[in-house]
Structure 1
Amino acid sequence: MNSQETILETRNLTKEFKGFTAVSDVNLRVRRGSIHALIGPNGAGKTTCFNLLTKFLEPTKGTILFNGVDITREKPAQIARRGVIRSFQISAVFPHLTVMENVRIGLQRQLGTAYQFWRSERSLDVLNDRAMELLEQVGLTEFAQTVTVNLPYGRKRALEIATTLAMEPELMLLDEPTQGMGHEDVDRVTQLIRKVSAGRTILMVEHNMNVVSSIADKITVLQRGAILAEGPYAEVSKDPRVMEAYMGTADAELQGAH
């Protein structure tokens, strides 16, 4: 993969906490325009990896490159400005505002403080139009005026995705987007991820193998902080080391997604 094709790359990414290595020499390459899933048993280092990529944690050693630029020492805000947006960073959706108002806040953040959105009603109308477009994209048009706290759970995740999209991400990091959902919501959010992946890159941590098998182009399996296997789902799910790492329960989980 040449540098044009690689949007995100880590080299020997390592994070140690007092005598414990959470992420160990991870060399990750995410292809531009792909959906890339990070999977692995609990405690495999997936969340720590995400925290390193979004600069919530500093690596002990190693390098992170985004579009060929070394971003290892940058702050979370700098990375967000570059277009690396993690869904929960703004999923602190405001529960007592409407769905529409939440998306508008995402849009205002994207415009930055320099843009005085209160200058005229006109500029707010522009935001309203864009907010409605985003709500339509995630299937929330009919909920535009609903107070967010009253939204069904699966729809809240769709709102998170809409507010993430409002930030114009080039690389979208989704942290367990279907966690705690029933079948119907899982299916809806999976379709939504597929839909919004057009023209952007998605890196996701996901436990649900049905989701991973149906939308991920490439899968990286982490175990004890290190890469155990990598490739398309069909290949990775048959890897004996992966089956062993998931031991028993997930054999069924891995196979059940075929």
Structure 2
Amino acid sequence: MPDTDVILQTQGLTKAFKGFTAVSDVSLSVRRGSIHALIGPNGAGKTTCFNLLTKFHAPSSGSIHFNGTDITALRPAQIARMGVIRSFQISAVFPQLTVLENVRIALQRRLGTSWHFWRGRRSLSRLDGRAMELLDAVGLAGFAHLGTAELAYGRKRALELATTLATDPELMLLDEPTQGMGHEDVETVTTLIKRVSAGRTVLMVEHNMSVVSSIVDRITVLQRGAVLAEGTYDEISRNPQVREAYMGTTDEPEDRHAAAAALNAEAS
């Protein structure tokens, strides 16, 4: 009988590219309502794993279950309609539209009116109330009528969170949401992720260990495409195999903060 507390589960997930195995026998369980992180050195297979989960790549072997349903053979659009929504490392907003219009497009998609190009702008105004609620949730209500191209990078990432929320996801996959940000933007987006995760499940790839330590419930560490370790932040930061993977040593650090600093320096 499936564990109803597990929203996403993989068994033996493997992906090989012409003899190179990018993801090897990954078995992963993501608990419902949690924030779960995939971490690992560059080339560990984190993004490839995301591509498998959202069906941008077909696995060479293994299975993927979402809410107890086998989704291994489904297409990306089918996965999205089931409530699995992904963000990407590169900002994915429409720069020529306003902030409000970006969120409204995401709302149109959920309503099934995405391709109704002949409808006048006024007919879409019924979506503005919900769009403004979403913008308020990510701190962008005051920028609703600004051109998206004028937003600072951190605010563009916040807008992506708003458009993701507009699809009402049950599971959000965030691929390096704080990549390329300054300290202030990292803190802002970290706070937003924690806020919007209420009532949802988040699986994220993240290099910044200060982000991981502050909001993540559970961590899976990948190395060379395989699972190296899994546990809480405290357990992972003390794990000698993880420290060796990141720091090249198994020496015991003075405390977990020293280990975290070393992990962060290697990953940045």
Short-chain TM bin: over 0.9
Q: Which runs of 5+ in 2 are unaligned?
A: none
Q: Which residue of 2 aligns with 1:44?
A: 44
Q: Which residue of 2 aligns with 1:228?
A: 228
Residue 192 (1) aligns with residue 188 (2):
no
CA deviation map 1:119-139 (0-9, x unaligned): 677752321000000000000
Q: Which residue of 2 aligns with 1:216?
A: 216
C-alpha deviation, 1:177, in angstroms: 0.2
C-alpha deviation, 1:87, in angstroms: 1.4
Q: 1:33 to 1:64 in 2, by over 3 A?
A: same
C-alpha deviation, 1:255, in angstroms: 2.4
Identity level (%): 72
CA deviation map 1:169-196 (0-9, x unaligned): 1000000000000110000000000000
Q: Which residue of 2 aligns with 1:78?
A: 78
The residue type equivalent to 2:180 in the other structure is G
Map 1:59-74; keep pairs closer than 5 Å. Answer: 59-74=59-74
Aligned residues of 1:95 and 1:147 also touching (Cα < 8 A) = yes
CA deviation map 1:174-226 (0-9, x unaligned): 00000000110000000000000000000000000000000000000000000
C-alpha deviation, 1:111, in angstroms: 1.3
Aligned residues of 1:35 and 1:201 also touching (Cα < 8 A) = yes
Q: Which residue of 2 aligns with 1:255?
A: 260
For 1:160 and 1:102, how far apart are their aligned partners in 2?
A: 9
Q: Which residue of 1 aligns with 2:146?
A: 146
For 1:212 and 1:112, how far apart are their aligned partners in 2?
A: 36
For 1:253 and 1:109, how far apart are their aligned partners in 2?
A: 46
Q: Which residue of 2 aligns with 1:8?
A: 8
> What TM-score, normalized to structure 1?
0.93
CA deviation map 1:206-254 (0-9, x unaligned): 00000000000000000000000001000111100000000259x8874
Using the TM superposition, name which of 82-91 and 58-67 deviates more.
82-91
For 2:118 and 2:192, how far apart are their aligned partners in 1?
A: 32
Q: 1:231 to 1:7 in 2, by over 3 A?
A: same
Aligned residues of 1:12 and 1:26 also touching (Cα < 8 A) = yes
Q: Which runs of 5+ in 1 are unaligned?
A: none
C-alpha deviation, 1:14, in angstroms: 0.2
For 1:19 and 1:119, how far apart are their aligned partners in 2?
A: 51
Map 1:158-197; keep pairs closer than 5 Å. Answer: 158-197=158-197
SS of equivalent residue, structure 1 residue 27: strand
SS of equivalent residue, structure 2 residue 238: coil
Map 1:84-99; keep pairs closer than 5 Å. Answer: 84-88=84-88, 92-99=92-99
Aligned residues of 1:90 and 1:106 also touching (Cα < 8 A) = no
Q: Aligned pair count?
A: 257
SS of equivalent residue, structure 2 residue 178: coil
Aligned residues of 2:89 and 2:176 also touching (Cα < 8 A) = no
C-alpha deviation, 1:110, in angstroms: 1.4
C-alpha deviation, 1:116, in angstroms: 5.3
The residue type equivalent to 1:39 in the other structure is I
Q: 1:124 to 1:212 in 2, by over 3 A?
A: same
